[in-house]
Structure 1
Amino acid sequence: MSAFIQQLPALIGVVIGALGSYLAVVRSDRARARTEWAARWEERRLAMYSDYARAVKKSVTLAYRVASHLGNDPHPHPLSLAEAEPLLTEAALARDPSGEALLMLGSPQVVDKARAWVVVVMEMERFLRAGRREPEAWQRLLERQRTAREGYYAAVRADLELPPGHPARRPLPGVPQPAGGQR
């Protein structure tokens, strides 16, 4: 029994060491799992934010083309409202699923900025459906759309903790710019 008592401190040390090692591994695994989970959700949010932007931008591009047909915009590929109507409807319908995903997964700030952007896009569509030929009013709408889009992108970058992005306002070399600047 005395030999057992003499080795008891060593046995206790082994048990404490094994327990400590086990707890360290468990804690490390949990931290890694949390980091991986956060990274997966961040990737999903980025994809969802990108999908929404792509859907809205499709509507904007169609609006530029119709505005060009009406003489309001210098877009090089004009499209009549009659030809664009099914495409505009399709683009609006494509915004809905990505908008719902945005409502579920997006931060409140991003959702607010997305709403502001799409409201301006819908105003652009109403402007065109009314057949208005007012280049100055169209340019004001374009400026509001650009500002709303920049607000959306800034909110996305803030939510995902990304560095500030490019404002997309620099002129392209050798490309004549419309009176309102970049798209």
Structure 2
Amino acid sequence: MTAFLQQLPALIGVVIGALGSYLAVVRGDRARFRREQEARWEERRLAVYSEYARALKKTVNLTYRVAAHLGNDPHPHPISPAEAGPQLAAATDGRDPAGEALIMLGSREVVEQAREWVTAVMAMERFMRSGTVDPDAWQDLLARQRACRERYYTAVRQDLALPPGHPALWPTRPASDG
């Protein structure tokens, strides 16, 4: 019995060490799981944000081309409203599911900026569908759409803790040599 009592402190030390080691491993695994889960959600949100932007840009590019056909935009590849119709319908069909995923996974700020951007794009669509020939009004719509796009990307970068990016505001008309 005395031998057992002499070894009891060592046995207690082994049990405490094993318990401490177990707790450290469990805490480490939980922290790693949380980090991995956060990284997966960030990757998924980035994919949703990117898909929404791509879907919206399809519509934007088509409106540029139709506006060029009408004489409002300098886009080098004009397309008639009739030719653009099926492509615009497909772009809208692709935009809706991307928007639903954005609403589900996006932050409030990103979703709000996406709503403003799509509202600007829809104004461009209405202008184009009306057949209006007014290059100055078209340029105002373009400026609004570009500002909304920039705010969307800024909100995305803030949500994902990314560094500031390029505003992507470059001239769309050729520079004159004079």
> Taking structure 1 as the reference length, what is the TM-score of the superposition?
0.93
* Residues paired across the two proteins, number: 176
Question: What amino acid maps onto 1:157 in structure 2?
Answer: R
2:76 is aligned to 76
Which residue does 1:181 correspond to in 2? none
Aligned to 1:38: 38
Matches within 5 A, 1:97-176: 97-170=97-170, 176=174
Distance 2:11 2:59 in 1: 72
Contact 2:55 2:91 (8 Å CA) reproduced: yes
4+ residue stretches of structure 1 with deviation over 6 A?
A: none
The residue identity in structure 2 corresponding to 1:176 is P
TM-score (norm 2): 0.96
2:66, 2:84 within 8 Å by CA — same for their partners in 1? Answer: yes
- Cα contact 2:110–2:155 (8 A) shared by 1: yes
The alignment partner of 2:32 has SS state of helix
Give CA deviations for 1:63-92 in whole Å, capped at 9, x if unaligned.
Answer: 000000000000000000011011111111
Q: Distance in 1 between matches of 2:175 and 2:55?
A: 25
Given that 2:58 and 2:91 are in contact with CA atoms closer than 8 Å, whether structure 1 keeps it comes out as yes
Q: Secondary structure at the match of 1:77?
A: coil
Give percent identity, aligned residues only: 70
| Letter aligned with residue 162 of structure 1 | L
User: Which residue number corresponds to residue 91 of structure 2?
Assistant: 91
Cα deviation digits, residues 10-69 of structure 1 (max 9, x gap): 000000000000000000001000000000010000000000000000000000000000
Question: Closer, same or farther in 2 for the Cα pair 1:177/1:27, shift >3 Å?
Answer: farther
Structure 2: runs of 5 or more not aligned? none
Structure 1 equivalent of residue 49 of structure 2: 49
Counterparts of 1:46 and 1:159, CA distance in 2: 10
Q: Which amino acid aligns with 2:107?
A: S
Partner of 1:21: 21
Q: 1:62 to 1:177 in 2, by over 3 A?
A: farther
Q: Deviations over 1:132-180 (max 9, x none)?
A: 00000000000000000000000000000000011112459xx8259xx
Q: Which amino acid aligns with 1:57?
A: K
Q: How far is the alpha carbon of 1:123 from its aligned partner?
A: 0.5
The superposition leaves residues 95-148 of structure 1 with CA deviations (integer Å, 9 ceiling, x where unpaired) of 000000001000000000000000010000000100000000000000000000
| One-letter amino acid of the structure 2 residue matched with residue 133 of structure 1 | V
Amino acid at match of 1:140: D
Q: Which runs of 5+ in 1 are unaligned?
A: 179-183
The code of the aligned residue for 2:35 comes to: T
Q: C-alpha distance in 2, partners of 1:106/1:82? A: 35
* Distance in 2 between residues matched to 1:88 and 1:148, nearest whole Å: 20
